Amino acid sequence: METIGLLAGIGTLPVEFIEAVRPQGYRVVCIAVTPGVDARLAAIADAYYDISAFKLDKVIKTLVKEHVKEVTMIGKVTKEWLYKSHTLPDMRAVRLLNRLRKMNFKDDTITLAIVDELAKDGISVLDQTKYLKPLMPGPQVFTKKKPTEAQMADVAFGFEAAKAIGAIDLGQTVVVKDQAVMAVEAIEGTDACIKRGGSLARGGAVVVKTAKPGQDTRFDMPAVGLTTLSSMEESGCAVLAIEAWHTLFAEKEAVLQEANKKGIVILAVEGKK
């Protein structure tokens, strides 16, 4: 039985990944690299470890011990842990952080540095979409409620804005109202961005999430789910637009049931060709 490694962050996508690869006969070794991962992972993974991303050498040695040659990185791990974590990094992590300080702490820079460390021990990083393509829908309106003409204008405006911030590796999400940007995703992550933008808009905001131009599909693919919807409800947002074919839509049935109940519009759109 071939073994796949899973470096799991927060959210349901790591669970959905295991459920997707299990029927294909893979053994999954899961390492939770941040606090707050889905509790189900410990039960459904063939082998499960709880090891901080700051213990980089231990993470990699555990994968080697479990004969992992390919690994995927799925789930939310925001950069806040770089500034908030009280876990003492091991020497391998310290060396990596020192290299990053000479470059930058952009999302892709950090992740590519981790990819390079894994490669030193013969471990390659899988394309995140390889087993999760069914979670990446094409263009459509998912909800019973349809967007208005004004909301679609905000979607188009927000799509361009989200692509612009993605191009500089700042984030993937913007909150828009009346073709004005209320909030841009940065280090705080998608949900905090939605709450801040929705609050500033005082209701009726449009949330747009896209992939970065030239998105590396091995990591950081945009994703939405119940937590996204909850943040929208809390801050009074009216529309969620995701990039068609390039966004992982987790917990889709539950999300649409709740969105239809609350009258929130959800759609997938394509950019200009």
Q: Residue 121 maps to which CATH number? A: 3.40.50.20
Same domain, 169 and 242: yes
Residue that finishes a domain, picked among 95, 125, 155:
125
Q: What is the pLDDT of residue 122?
A: 95
d(CA 242, CA 138) in angstroms, rounded, equals 10
Could you tell me if 37 and 10 are in contact, meaning their C-beta atoms sit under 8 angstroms apart? yes
Last residue of a domain, one of 125, 143, 160: 125
* 78 and 150 belong to one structural domain: no
Burial class (CB in 10 A: 0-12, 13-18, 19+), 100: middle
Cβ partners under 8 Å of residue 228, min gap 6: 190, 191, 194, 207, 209, 240, 255
Last residue within a domain, chosen from 125, 146, 171: 125
Instruction: Please check whether residues 141 and 250 belong to one and the same domain.
Output: yes
Token pair of 252, please? 């889709």
Tens place of pLDDT for every residue, the chain, 273 residues? Answer: 799 999 999 999 999 999 999 888 999 999 999 888 999 999 999 999 999 989 999 999 999 999 999 999 998 886 666 666 667 888 998 898 898 888 887 777 888 889 999 999 999 999 888 889 899 999 999 999 999 999 999 999 999 999 999 999 888 999 999 999 999 998 888 999 999 999 999 999 999 999 999 888 887 889 999 999 999 999 999 999 999 999 999 999 999 999 999 999 999 999 765
**Same domain membership, residue 67 and residue 162:** no
| pLDDT score for 230 | 97
Number of domains observed in the structure of the chain = 2
Q: What is the pLDDT of residue 271?
A: 79
Question: Looking at residue 32, what is its pLDDT?
Answer: 96
Residue 84 has a pLDDT of: 65
**98: number of Cβ within 10 Å:** 9
109 and 236 in one domain? no
> What CATH number is given to the structural domain containing 190?
3.40.140.80
Residue 68, SS3?
coil
- CA-to-CA distance for 240 and 232, rounded, in angstroms? 8
CB-count exposure of residue 35 (10 Å: 0-12, 13-18, 19+): exposed
| Residue 268: per-residue pLDDT | 98
Do 206 and 177 form a contact (C-beta atoms < 8 A)? Answer: yes
Q: What is the pLDDT of residue 186?
A: 86
Report the predicted TM-score, pTM, of the whole model to 2 decimal places: 0.86
Same domain, yes or no, for 116 and 217? no
Which residue is associated with the tokens 């939310």? 76
Whole-angstrom distance, CA of residue 266 vs CA of residue 258: 11
Task: State the residue range of the domain holding 242.
Answer: 134-269
5, 68 contact by CB (below 8 A):
yes
